[in-house]
Structure 1
Amino acid sequence: MKGMMFKNNIEPYYFLNPSAYDTAWLAMIPQEDHDQSNQPMFKNCLEWVLNNQNHVGFWGECDANGKPTIECLPATLACMVALKKWNVGSSLIEKGLEFVHANAEMFLKDMNGRQCPRWFAIVFPGIVEFAQTNGLENLFPETVRENVSYIFRCQREELVGKNHCPPLLSYLEALPPSYDIDEEVIINNLSDDGSLFQSPSATSQAFMATGNQECLAYLMSLAQRCPNGVPPTYPMDEDILKLCMVNQVIRLGLAEQFFNEIEEILGHVYRNYLEQETWVRPTNLVALAAQLYKDSLAFRLLRLHGYNISPMSFCWFLCEEEIREEIEMNYEYFSSILLNIYRASDLMFSGEYVLEEAKSFSRNLLEKYIFLRDGDQTSPILSKFHKVIEHELNIPWIARLDHLEHRMWIEETEANAPWRGKTSFFRISHLYNNELLQLAKLNYEFRQSIYRKELEELKGWSKDWELSDMGFGREKTSYCYFAVAASTTLPCDSYIRMLVAKSAILITVADDFYDMKGSLSELEDLTDAVRRWDSRGLSSHSKIIFDALNNLVTETATKYLKHEGTDITSSLQDLWYETFLSWLIEAKWSRMKIRPSIDDYIKTGMTSVATHTLVLPASCFVKPSLPIEKLRPKQYETVTKLLMVIARLLNDMQSYQKEKEEGKVNSVLAFLIENPEAEIEDSIAYVREILDKKKKELLEHVLMDGFTDLPKPSKDLHLSCLKVFQMFFNSTNRFDSNTEVLHDIKKAIYIPLEVGTLKPLQDLPLHFAEPKKKNAKTLASFKWFLKQNSRTSFTAHQVSRPRVGKGYGIIPIAPKLALGLL
């Protein structure tokens, strides 16, 4: 995959799915020479049409389940016209007609005024009329002609106006003769590159109508760059294609495998931004869409990877009233760009008010889009895109766990398109997506197998130390492990996952013991035992908790001593004692009816939530590791303190009602005590304001250099811990629920992926090479690979011994499908 996607000599347009519709229009152009006008100018486009009909009979895109979408109707008609024009592929035309007859009713039955997309209302009638004038009669059965007639009655628009994007003139090839467009109008609207709104199909018609040589130069360049079918828009900023590849790899959960490639591309994009001397306003709405898509995606990816980039790199549109109005008028066309803007605004630091404005602007229009498209089933791709938007709006980014996000992206990959083209979505080629999805699927399921094994091991540990059957409180072994494993792809180290999960289990059990079970004298004895680190005098639950804690600390310190040569036992003991002492203080407040000030409460509560007890010991085992002095309470970095405060406030926001009934105090209730004239809504608003501010500060400390001495993996652990707490306490107290998180746990660890109809590798035209070194290990690995990627046995002609490389080779019949296992 690295060789296919990221080598310097790879043609970026190689990754765009060809547009059957636009390729067909290039295939219709005759040679300029009068003596050869009975031959196509772009023979490779005609050959593409001849060779790329789906076995069902259509041309064009299909959904993740291999089923045709509404986009296939105009594409299929255009391809049939191209074949008819050159009197070739009669059997393909017949098969195409059979497909149209069999499926037109299904596609067109729901085409009422609300559900018919604008592009379809323009393109479909035009291509139907064009097909009929070129000898393709009886396209539709009688039962659907009324629906077709309705679509023909679409409202007229101005050729180039401000009310629609893209402008009607960009559909030149589909406009009926009644528009009677003057050549001068066409030529006056050509871009500097000779295209008509960067549309290959419209530019093809512009050339056939005018013979303009600038149009021809554009088309020649297009056919040369994209010999295997043309994209729906050309040219494209090549940085967009590279950013799309990076975004796809990250969202599929493969970032760690492509770390160097991602850094190289983002470094290149960042340098381009730095070298950009002045901002050039896009000349039309199509160019505006591309620029805004690129800038918002680049901002999000660059900021996530620590680059110092200004929000104005994409928020420039907010300063242009005319651009804002154009986006608002054409919000449906801009829907995926608006989603990208909304995602970019997630990474907001303190004082970045322009990002708040961008979030509000994009959210309002996305909600409007959802209302417009609610219940729209005319396109499976749009339906999935609708779900993605709802997911983004309903669950904050900071409350979503990476592992489950990867799952959603793998399963909903059809919905994750950069933006709407004329008749379809732009997206990275399915040819490569199929293989990348195979890799992502194997990677996800490989992680699941590791997580299942580790969770069983953890359950055994909890049972052995009697923590899972204390007879009181919450048994959260699965919750704790799920939160650690699913929160991020990092840490990849099994020991770190298990250390954090064991610590979380101990914290939950001990916290419940201090809250509900232990007498005050038992709690004082246990706290003193932790201070002395000596279990003498302890019994029952106190002894169980101390012994499990002692085992965990001893194991952790021993492992660190072995690898780093330093004994951190006393630092770990001090860290845990600080946490136990905070629980004792809160227990005394509760039982003695003491009402601390909000400042005193926060000082103790930020410790009792114990996030630092989770992330700091784990940070000792990342690479590079945490400096051991950062384990000491007075040496905590600001980012650690921010995490402690945020986690406490998140917990308080969802538990104040329960704690009020139990006679306890938390930040929401403490504010009311100090401000008796305030209402509960005032207190919640006060705490939420602090939370929002602190989260922005923490995000800046994690993503940017210069705020902390902590190594990046440790900062990532802090961010993962924040996401876990936000997930558990986003809108309810999910941690205390016995059911709310169970389905997520099953999806993360147990339930197989649902990925539609990914082709098994034996369905691809590949030759499998046996390993040259036939030792037991290589043969076993090769057989395992075949088993994992085959549903049927390989026949003799599928296996060969090509002379290539070392180890295993998978040698393609078609170069585009090159894939190697080394």
Structure 2
Amino acid sequence: MDFSQYSSIQSQVDKIKEKMFSSTCDPYSFISPSAYDTAWLAMIPDPHQPLQPMFKNCLDWVLYNQNEQGFWGECDAHGMPTINCLPSTLACIVALKKWNTGGESIKKGLAFVHANTEKLIREMNKQYCGRWFAIVFPAMVELANTVVGEELVFPDSLIGVVSELFNKRQQILEKEELVDMHQNSPLLAYLEALPTSYDIDKDVILNQLSNDGSLFQSPSAIASAFMATGSKECMAYLVSLVQRYDNGVPRTYPMDEDLINLCMVNQLVRLGIAEHFVLEIEEILEQVYRNYLNQEAWPKSNSDVAAQLLKNSLAFCLLRMHGYSVSSDIFCWFLNHEDIRVQIENNHEYFSSALLNVYRATDLMFSGEDDLQEARSFSKQILEKILSVGTRDQTHLSLPNLRRVIEHELSLPWFARLDHLEHRMWIEENYSNFLWMGNIKAASTERFPCPDHNSELVRLAKQNYELRQSIYQNELEELKRWSKEWGLTDMGFGREKTTYCYFAIAASSSLPYDSNIRMMVAKSAIVITVADDFYDTEGSLIELKGLTNAIQRWDSEGLSGPCKIIFDVLDNLVTEIAAKYMQQEGCDIKHNLEDIWYETFLSWFTESMWSKTGYIPSMDEYLETGMTSIATHTQVLSASCFLDPSLPNSKLRPPQYENITKLLMIIARLLNDTQSYQKEIEEGKANFVSVYLTENPEADIEESIAYVRDILEQKKKEFLKQVLMDGFSDFSKPCKYLHLSCLKVFQMFYNSANRFDSNNIEMLQDINKAIYIPVEVGKEKQPLKPDLKPLKPVPDLYSGATSAKLKINSQYFNRPSSKHWMMRSFTTQQVSWQLASRVRFCFT
């Protein structure tokens, strides 16, 4: 990687800022045009010149925006037509035919319909025939046959399938009222698609118009309403719409601009490029927060509960994650409306995206927020039902990616997700293509932003991710050299986890954390792993006492063998960190660091004494020592000195740590104990699970684990509030987020198994994807060639002398070597930490 890669990123960022965040930029420009709705506006004749279209620019859009394959409408993540392209294509053909233009486009469109209808419909039947498609597609077939004539002929093999769709439409029409308040989109919202047998009185249509002249915010429906009634209100709406969109109209209008902006911020964060748009994101969220405080500017929509829930839950999530004080009432209001809960339960597909965001918002739950817990349980129940129905009947999710998203959200806790890998998933799966908001009629999706902007953002995100990979590869190689030079890779006992340790810190945090912080945390973690194993399995009490005393006086006299190696590498590390801090801040923190390390070594010695003498501590005694021996504070506090220069004067004095640090220490210890209790019981070591059983002999192992997990849930809620909200600690935001990164690492390692002590394929895959395997986007994604095996472990992943050492395919993983000059050039460009720290995490 050379400087040109970073320069290219900066150039892209500047262009995107000019397009998306300039003062002249219209938020509505981020919403993609709807071919279907634009075609309906193109069909409207001019009231004064009936032989000409009223909106020629809409007709021109149809004429010049046909896909090369012959269809109009949305593509999937790989550029392939979706099932909704069929009615859109038919509507566009009708619009062109009505005005006797675009003959070649009509032929291409008809060829596409004839060639792809059977394939698309049969593929849809494997998943779900949405209500919008079941109503609209038959109507467009009828309209096209009327306008186009016999050119639209389906093959015999498809007649039965098409007939089934017509029958399904008839069932819907017979079952529902024209204006059914139990439906999110009543039949009148499909006015343009209703059969001619519906003799709808003009007054019925006019009575349903909103104050702005819209009919359920649907441009296609209001186009039909205008042609049926000639209403001035309808005309005003349509003129306003076309003036706002001079390049094709959206599927829904008007839209909530706060929602558009929130989705924009959410996309930047999930793609992992928020660090480049710090000021822009801050400005948007400040405006959203002002509107939230101003209840008149934050109305609750009665017409579209799904859109309101999406907006509210997304606002809660983004604002809370960025440190704003926002109440759970912002989106939990729906819990108090039984009719809305019933509506959600009866309309799974329509609410799937909104409920997914509700569930995500509850990840940021603080202690005592019972309504958030209720919202979490309710949304989880609905999402699980969606998955189970889809699996059993193969009939529910119309979005191919949405199922995977829901499964991911329900299977892996937010605390266990590492930012870097979440960014990759979002980039590769093209989830970023979708603004998950159920459409008024389609119950599908609005694309966000428009394709040009989206492709630019994904391209930037891909390059940004690979820049990080390049930096991470160089740092990891340097770290492995360091481990080998100090003899840590050849100790002959315990776990060799150089790559694991580096992967954890690199993947759990986002730049602009600089190289110094990543390297000092990773080195500290490596030393901790080796020293902890020595105290656990290798050293005699005499050796351990000698090493502990040497650490206390910080003098290696009398040490030899592993004790000498451990002391020397630790002394070098502490000296290196202290020297860098002296150079940066002009203050000597060496003694502070020595005190923290001695406290940690003393806790290891205490636990070794318990194990070797058979002593069983009390729960309080165990936790007091165990929260220190897990050594999270040893890693985060030394690194935090560089994020908060005032730290050594107040918070680097054992054991007088801030509550946020103590909570991290307790949580990390209990997470470890829930996955290692069986092994430690067999080895005769104290563990909180076994200590609880000793003090509660009537309990069994499941009750002990449940007790520990209850503590964990409560402590994590307390911890999260300490991280996100001001007033609980004097730590700076970067320091708090470093604490959060550390907790996420431990949750990842000990979520459902002890991944730190394992070499399972998923762990190796995560490491390779985070550091080595290039990002693959959209059409780039191809099946792996037989000679490329990205799941092979990078060198040194396996511990022990007998473990296999597999080499990495050089075609995939070899990168040009460079030192830290690129990292330095990167960090000199970064914005202030006070702002950058507020956009670091992927909101999941």
For normalisation by structure 1, the TM-score amounts to 0.90
User: How far apart are 1:183 and its partner, in Å?
Assistant: 1.8
User: How far apart are 1:43 and its partner, in Å?
Assistant: 0.7
| Counterpart residue number, 1:418 | 436
Query: Distance in 2 between the 1:209 and 1:552 partners?
Result: 79
User: How far apart are 1:425 and its partner, in Å?
Assistant: 1.2
| Counterpart residue number, 2:390 | 373
Q: Residue 45 of structure 2: SS of its match in structure 1?
A: coil
- 1:16-415 correspondence to structure 2 within 5 Å: 16-33=31-48, 36-110=49-123, 112=125, 115-137=128-150, 138-154=152-168, 155=171, 156=173, 157-277=176-296, 280-284=299-303, 286=304, 288-374=305-391, 382-414=399-431
Query: Distance in 2 between the 1:98 and 1:624 partners?
Result: 68
User: How far apart are 1:627 and its partner, in Å?
Assistant: 4.2
User: How far apart are 1:277 and its partner, in Å?
Assistant: 4.6
The residue identity in structure 2 corresponding to 1:553 is V
Runs of 4+ in structure 1 off by over 6 angstroms are: 375-381
User: How far apart are 1:321 and its partner, in Å?
Assistant: 1.5
User: How far apart are 1:492 and its partner, in Å?
Assistant: 2.1
- 1:249-648 correspondence to structure 2 within 5 Å: 249-277=268-296, 280-284=299-303, 286=304, 288-374=305-391, 382-414=399-431, 416-421=434-439, 422-423=441-442, 424-426=444-446, 427-490=448-511, 492-622=513-643, 626-648=647-669
The residue identity in structure 2 corresponding to 1:249 is L
The residue identity in structure 2 corresponding to 1:183 is K
Which of 704, 707, 731 does residue 710 from structure 1 map onto? 731
Query: Distance in 2 between the 1:610 and 1:696 partners?
Result: 21
| Counterpart residue number, 1:774 | none
Which of 738, 743, 755 does residue 777 from structure 2 map onto? 755
User: How far apart are 1:348 and its partner, in Å?
Assistant: 0.4
Aligned pairs, number: 755
Query: 1:291-325, CA deviations, whole angstroms, 9 ceiling, x for partnerless residues?
Result: 21111101100000000000001111111122222
| Counterpart residue number, 1:666 | 687
Q: Residue 621 of structure 2: SS of its match in structure 1?
A: helix
Q: Residue 744 of structure 1: SS of its match in structure 2?
A: helix
Query: Distance in 2 between the 1:72 and 1:278 partners?
Result: 36
| Counterpart residue number, 1:745 | 767
When residues 319 and 278 of structure 1 are mapped into structure 2, their CA distance, relative to the original with a 3 A threshold, is: farther
Of 606-615 and 200-209, deviating more is 200-209
Query: Distance in 1 between the 2:156 and 2:335 partners?
Result: 50
Which of 704, 710, 716 does residue 695 from structure 1 map onto? 716
Verify the 8 A CA contact 1:646 1:695 in the aligned structure 2.
Answer: yes
Structure 1 unaligned spans of 5+? 760-822
| Counterpart residue number, 1:8 | 23
Q: Residue 435 of structure 2: SS of its match in structure 1?
A: coil
Query: Distance in 1 between the 2:233 and 2:481 partners?
Result: 73
Q: Residue 374 of structure 1: SS of its match in structure 2?
A: helix
Query: Distance in 2 between the 1:478 and 1:213 partners?
Result: 69
Query: Distance in 2 between the 1:257 and 1:362 partners?
Result: 33
Q: Residue 634 of structure 1: SS of its match in structure 2?
A: coil
Query: Distance in 1 between the 2:55 and 2:282 partners?
Result: 39
Query: Distance in 2 between the 1:430 and 1:716 partners?
Result: 34
Verify the 8 A CA contact 2:599 2:628 in the aligned structure 1.
Answer: yes
When residues 640 and 444 of structure 1 are mapped into structure 2, their CA distance, relative to the original with a 3 A threshold, is: same
| Counterpart residue number, 1:684 | 705
The residue identity in structure 2 corresponding to 1:226 is Y
User: How far apart are 1:469 and its partner, in Å?
Assistant: 1.4
The residue identity in structure 1 corresponding to 2:467 is F
| Counterpart residue number, 1:814 | none
Query: Distance in 2 between the 1:124 and 1:381 partners?
Result: 15
Of 128-137 and 593-602, deviating more is 128-137
Query: Distance in 1 between the 2:491 and 2:127 partners?
Result: 59
User: How far apart are 1:449 and its partner, in Å?
Assistant: 0.6
Query: 1:482-536, CA deviations, whole angstroms, 9 ceiling, x for partnerless residues?
Result: 0000002045200100000000000000000111111111111110110011111
Q: Residue 363 of structure 2: SS of its match in structure 1?
A: coil
User: How far apart are 1:717 and its partner, in Å?
Assistant: 0.2
When residues 711 and 89 of structure 1 are mapped into structure 2, their CA distance, relative to the original with a 3 A threshold, is: same
When residues 2 and 516 of structure 1 are mapped into structure 2, their CA distance, relative to the original with a 3 A threshold, is: same
The residue identity in structure 1 corresponding to 2:401 is K
Query: 1:16-63, CA deviations, whole angstroms, 9 ceiling, x for partnerless residues?
Result: 011000100000001112xx1011011110010001000110001111
Query: Distance in 2 between the 1:468 and 1:114 partners?
Result: 52
Query: 1:445-490, CA deviations, whole angstroms, 9 ceiling, x for partnerless residues?
Result: 0100110111111000000001111111111111000000000204
| Counterpart residue number, 2:10 | none
Between 1 and 2, higher relative CO (CA 8 Å, sep ≥ 6) is seen in 2
Verify the 8 A CA contact 2:348 2:382 in the aligned structure 1.
Answer: yes
User: How far apart are 1:381 and its partner, in Å?
Assistant: 7.0
Verify the 8 A CA contact 1:377 1:383 in the aligned structure 2.
Answer: no
Q: Residue 438 of structure 2: SS of its match in structure 1?
A: coil
Of 700-709 and 192-201, deviating more is 192-201
User: How far apart are 1:377 and its partner, in Å?
Assistant: 8.5
The residue identity in structure 1 corresponding to 2:404 is K
Query: 1:221-280, CA deviations, whole angstroms, 9 ceiling, x for partnerless residues?
Result: 111101111110000011111111111101100111111110010001001111225975
User: How far apart are 1:114 and its partner, in Å?
Assistant: 7.0
Query: Distance in 1 between the 2:274 and 2:647 partners?
Result: 23
Structure 2 unaligned spans of 5+? 1-15, 782-844
Query: 1:301-360, CA deviations, whole angstroms, 9 ceiling, x for partnerless residues?
Result: 000000000000111111112222211211210110001101111100000011001111
For normalisation by structure 2, the TM-score amounts to 0.87
Verify the 8 A CA contact 1:107 1:378 in the aligned structure 2.
Answer: no
